[in-house]
Each structure stands twice: as C-alpha cells, then as structure tokens.
Chains A and B, each alone.
Chain A
Amino acid sequence: MAQRATDRIDAVGSTTALAIPADPAYVGTVRYFAATIARHEGLPEELIDDLRLAVSEACAEAIDAGVTGSIRVALSLEPERIDVEVTSGSAQSEGEPLAREALVPIYRMQLIRALFPDAKTDPGHGVRVVRFTVPHASSRGA
C-alpha cells in the first residue's frame, strides 16, 4: 500500500506540525493547515490571511531554492502568540532551483518581514529555517 505523501501531522504539547513534500502542489495544503489552527485560536481573518501568505512564501522560498525531501511547518500555540517555524533541508546538488522571475525571492522575504517583523531565516548546515511570531490577543476568555 502506497504511503501518503502528505498530511503527516504530529502534535506535541502546544505544537502542531505538518510535513509536506517539497513540491509546489502541496503549498496550498500548508495554507489550509495554518488557517485552520489560527481560526480555531480565534485570530481575526485579516491576521489569518497574513499567516497564510507568510507560510506559503516560506515554503515556496525553499522549493524555489531547490530543496528536496520534505518541508515541516510547525505552529506552537503560546499565550497571545503563535510561534511559526518552517524547516526544510538544504538545497541538494541534485535539486534544480526552479526557473523564476528574478525578483521573486526578494519579494518573498520582503512580504514575510513586512507582515511579521521578527521573521528570521537561518540557513544553517544541512537545514533551512524560517521563524516568525504571530502576535494576537486571542478571543478566548475575552
């Protein structure tokens, strides 16, 4: 029986994570995943739109760079904030960077940083990480 390529969700404590193949076809799944969690936490729709865009750009940036294997998107629910971490392997030599308009990689990080100013990228050894925080005053208990 073939193993499913996506929908690998794990939840530990306050963190829920989704792993997808580094494939453009799965980026929409990440947006849906992030929006579902954010909506459950009571975030306003405008902030959910920002989160969808930021996680989408982070995944697309990794795929554009030629990352192979999987991309893990983790959302950690903290009081009045969600910590987001998008982790992927480094671009492999056999992975071909996608041909794309030259300015697109610049737009991607510009958008993430404009939406979430604490966004940081960490292209470490063997792993790429984009982290940012979604601050919110949850409607819970309001």
Chain B
Amino acid sequence: MDLVLGSRNENGWAVLEVQGEVDLYTSPQLREAIVRLTEEEENRIVVDLYNVSFMDSSGLGVLVAGLKRARERGGELALVFGEGSVQKVFGITGLDKIFPTYRSVGEATGGT
C-alpha cells in the first residue's frame, strides 16, 4: 500500500498531487511533503486528493495541521476531491466547511 506524491507549480500555487490510500501508515509521508513545501516558502498549497481511494482521520489531522501552518505564514491550503469516500469523510467531520474545496486543480488555482 503505497502513497504516491508529486508536486508542481501552477498559477502561483504549489500543487501536491496525492495518489493511493492515506491512513495511519502513510499519512506521515503526506505530513512531510506539506511541511517541506512550507519550508520552501510555498504557502499557497493545493492538495489534490482526486486520486485518493481511501482517507481516514490520520489524513484529516495532517491536512488540518497543514492548513494551520499555511495560514500562519499568510498562505492557504485548498483541497481538490471528487464525490465518494474522501468527500464523505470531510462531510461527516464538518471539515469541508473549514477548507476551501474544489472539484479540479484548475478551479482551485484560478486557472480555469
């Protein structure tokens, strides 16, 4: 069970693309990737969860910490996900009201 992470810049945003399952085992990788971006002064971050097939509370905790870290630096952390299990997890916890959420990276970065 691997987590595949990749980052790129798009319209002034750092886009962190995540593929796989985010759980207790893999969430530290996501945490490290977000911390690394903020350490590189990339504080406008889009985390693309569109290809994440599973996410539990461990992933939520990492993203909430990432949002706090980005906003403390005057930035933002936005999320992209589709309909399905990831959306459900954010809906149940009410975190979909805390994060800026979008259906595509283009929408999140203002490119489309």
Contact = CB atoms under 8 A, between A and B. Distances in A.
Contact of B24 (A27, A52, A53, A115): A27
Q: Give 9 nearest A-B pairs by CB, closest first.
A: A101-B61, A107-B57, A24-B25, A104-B61, A24-B24, A28-B1, A60-B24, A114-B92, A49-B85
A110 B61 contact: no
Contacts of B93: 107, 110-111
Interface in A46-95: 49, 52-53, 56-57, 59-60, 63-64
- The number of chain B residues touching the other chain, given as a range, is 20 to 34
Given A52-B54, A100-B58, A108-B57, A64 B92 contact: no
13 contacts: A24-B23, A28-B21, A28-B25, A49-B84, A49-B85, A103-B60, A103-B61, A104-B60, A104-B61, A105-B57, A107-B93, A114-B92, A115-B92
Contact of A101 (B1, B21, B62): B62
Interface residues of A, number: 25
A60 to B, nearest CB: 4
Interface string A22-56: 00110110010000000000000000010011001
Contacts of A53: 54, 56, 85, 89
